[in-house]
Each structure stands twice: as C-alpha cells, then as structure tokens.
Amino acid sequence: MKIVVQKYGGSSVATTDKIKEVAKKVIKKKEEGYHVVVILSAMGKTTDHLISLAKDISDNPDPREMDMLLTTGEQVSIALLSMALNEKGYLAVSFTGSQLNIQTTAMHQKARIKDIEISKLQKSLKEDKIIVVAGFQGVTEDNEYTTLGRGGSDTSAVALAAKLGASCEIYTDVDGIYTMDPRKLKNAKKINKISYEEMMEIASLGAGVIHYRAVEMAQKYEIPIYIASTFSDKKGTIIMNGGENLMEETLITGMASSLEDIQVTLLNLTSCTGSLYRLFGELAQQEANVDMISQMLTEDNKMNVSFTIPKTDLHIAEGIVDKWRKEDKSIQWEVSTDIAKISVVGIGMRSHSGVAAKVFELMAENNIEI
C-alpha cells in the first residue's frame, strides 16, 4: 500500500474543532487506500505563548530548556488528533520525536535531522494504524530533546517522506504558492507547478508558506511536495523537478517581502579578508542566518560591512561584536530594525535585462526608499 505523509500547520490545528476537521481529511485519504503518516505543528499560537512564558522568566533562556518547553506544543496536538481518529473508529497512535528516534544534531533550537529509525513506524503501519508524529522536534544521541527551528515541521515531514519512500502533502491556511502574498496583493496568481530552486528562493526570502530547509531536503531526495489548503478542496501547488516550462513563460515567478530581518553595520574594521572570514565564521558557528552582505572600503583603508540577519538572531551578533570591541575599541556598529526585505524571483532576472530596473522604477514611483 502506498504511504503518504501529510503535514498540518499550527493554524490547521488551532482548536479542537479544527483538529476534528483535520481528522476527517486524514480519514478520507486513508479510505482512498493509503497508509497515512501525519505530522503536526503546535496548536495555533501555542509556541508563541510558551515563548512568552520563558521570556517572563529570563531574557535569554537556556536553549536546552527552551527545547524542553517548546516540544510540549506538538505533543499536545498529536495526542488530540490521535484521540479524534480513535473516536471515529480508526486505529491511530502518536509519537514524539524522542519516541520515534528522530536523531538530530545537538544544536538546541536549530538542530538538523541526521536520521530517523523507521522500524517503529513500519510496525505500526503493518498494524494498519494511522501514525501521528510531532513535527519540529527530535532527539540527540543522549536523549536530549531538540527542535529544528521555526517552520521545522515541514522539514520533519519531508524527512519522513524520504525515509518511507512516501509522497508528501503540506496543508496550511493558504491554498498554494502565489506569485505574491495573496493577503497583501489581491490579484496575485496561484502557481500550479514550481521547481525546487525557485521555491527555495521564495521560501528563503520569508514567503512563509513552506520552510526553506524542507524544500532543500525535498530536492535532495526528489520528493514532490503538494501544498494546499486544509479547509478547502481547491487544487494547490506542486513543488517538483521540472518547473522549466513555467520559467520559460514568465520573467518573474514571484515576489516576497519580509519584515523579520534587521540590518547590522560594522564600521572601521581592519584587515579585510581576515576579519570578514572571522565575522561570518563566528556567525555561522552559532547558526545565525546571514542573508544580504555588502562591504565598502573607507578612505583610510578601513572597511565597513553590512549584513541582514533575522531579528531573532540579534543577540548572537551582539555577543560577537561585544567581544570584538574589547579587542579594538575603534570598531563601531549600528543596527537598523526598521527595514523591509523585498525579493524578486524568476529566471527573467538573469536572462532579460530591465527587470530589476522596472522594479526599482516601481519603488521610486511609490516613494519607497531603497
């Protein structure tokens, strides 16, 4: 029997009524003759609520204990969905990342999946059970609980699909991938098929529908991902190899905007290559996701460098800069929090001149400072 991995996001399981709706959707797939493995996120705003509890206690909570705290969110969802499936007369069983031995690296809050032991899953599938797995979480060799970072449930789903040779469906509160966020732009068009590469571009730029690393992993294992709405039957978007036709047809596949980044600028650095290597090396070591980088030499042969990172990684940059300034007090730094990142994605950016110019023109016309 074919196996399908279905992932439902936090807004899809925000209330017990919504969980019952998800149960119906899962059962429908089961009745179509599939083995179903479900990955869930935490209910609605649960993760935000847990984070606010932690912030009440500490400005900089211990990452291990944050993972101890946050993994409870998905555990609640999986128990409730299993109950809902049992209630409808279907055998279902839930597993945490620890129980399923979703092995990850030991970097708390940003762990990466190393491997998944599927013997337990296979046993439950043989018993014809629907399996409900906590997304976003895993476990180290020492049985320490870890989380995969925001949006990590998508990655859990793709990893499980890859291990099980299953297809992968991601259900969310939008009914597919659009050329632009449909909540922001009314005449945004839905994309039926998109290549991994283009989806990664869009995802990495903060479009939010699917996690960047999930698409990266899907490409690696050639798992097509179907993205659709939990609560409608509208046709969604498929992410797969061979979105070429689409790329030939359109100059711009999509645009994305994000308010989640900050720009950090360091002034008066000495010794160009060495210090850049050291700066981005230390940022990478602490898994801060550096995005846009620009540098500039000053007249007195010093260097200024700017880069963007997620707001949530500000403390990492602060730590590194504080250490540097102890060594060289002439280094200054500035942080701009009031920025937006606008991204334009599509083959046309490279092959057709004038696309960037058109974008800049539109910005100017609307008085947006670049």
Contacts with its own copies by CB under 8 A lie at 16-17, 19-20, 50, 53-54, 56-58, 61-62, 64-66, 68-69, 71-72, 75-76, 78-80, 82-84, 86-87, 93-94, 96, 98-99, 143-145
Shortest distance (Å) from residue 50 CB to its own copies: 7
Q: Tell me how far apart the alpha carbons of residues 152 and 39 are, in angstroms, rounded to a whole number.
A: 11
CA-nearest of 42, 53, 55 to 12 is: 42
Q: Give whichever of 61 and 208 is closer to its own copies, judged by the CB atom.
A: 61
Shortest distance (Å) from residue 289 CB to its own copies: 24
CA-nearest of 277, 317, 321, 276 to 295 is: 276
Q: Give whichever of 72 and 275 is closer to its own copies, judged by the CB atom.
A: 72
User: What is the DSSP annotation of 260-305?
Assistant: SEEEEEEEEE-SHHHHHHHHHHHHHHTT-----EEEEE-TTS-EEE
Q: Tell me how far apart the alpha carbons of residues 104 and 28 are, in angstroms, rounded to a whole number.
A: 32
Shortest distance (Å) from residue 124 CB to its own copies: 12
Q: Tell me how far apart the alpha carbons of residues 321 and 265 are, in angstroms, rounded to a whole number.
A: 11
Q: Give whichever of 16 and 270 is closer to its own copies, judged by the CB atom.
A: 16
Q: Give whichever of 144 and 181 is closer to its own copies, judged by the CB atom.
A: 144
CA-nearest of 228, 107, 139 to 177 is: 228
Q: Give whichever of 95 and 226 is closer to its own copies, judged by the CB atom.
A: 95
Contact 310, 260 (CB under 8 A): yes
Cα radius of gyration (the chain):
22
Q: What's the residue count for the chain?
A: 370
Q: Give whichever of 7 and 108 is closer to its own copies, judged by the CB atom.
A: 108
Shortest distance (Å) from residue 239 CB to its own copies: 32
Partners of 141 in the beta sheet? none
Q: Tell me how far apart the alpha carbons of residues 41 and 207 are, in angstroms, rounded to a whole number.
A: 18
Shortest distance (Å) from residue 222 CB to its own copies: 32
Q: Give whichever of 15 and 270 is closer to its own copies, judged by the CB atom.
A: 15
Residue 108 dihedral angles phi and psi, to the nearest 5°? -60, 140
State how far Cα 151 lies from the chain centre.
4
Shortest distance (Å) from residue 89 CB to its own copies: 11
Contact 297, 338 (CB under 8 A): no
Shortest distance (Å) from residue 335 CB to its own copies: 25
